[in-house]
Amino acid sequence: RHGVDPLLIAAVAEAESNFRVDAVSPKGALGLMQVMPMHVDDGVEPFDPEVNLELGAALLAELTSRFDGRLELALAAYHAGPGAVQR
């Protein structure tokens, strides 16, 4: 749906949460893809695996576009935030 390779999504889920659907980082990132609460709409369950994978895939697609298809920058921005990568 977002044009993101499913194997990339799986790799991010493994790296971010070790495939734990209930993972919460010290910074507040949630679920499989460690999505930050600011990316979750009210009423959406971020620990639902389908929802979390969808949110993560959408964010990866957005970041890949933002960084002109440079996957290494998109992945760095996914993990550390786009501002950190811009700096």
Residues known to be catalytic: 16
Task: Yes or no: say if 30 and 40 are a contact pair by the CB < 8 Å rule.
Answer: yes
- DSSP string for 5-71: -HHHHHHHHHHHHTT-TT-B-TT--BTTTTB-GGGS-TT--TTSHHHHHHHHHHHHHHHHHHTTT-H
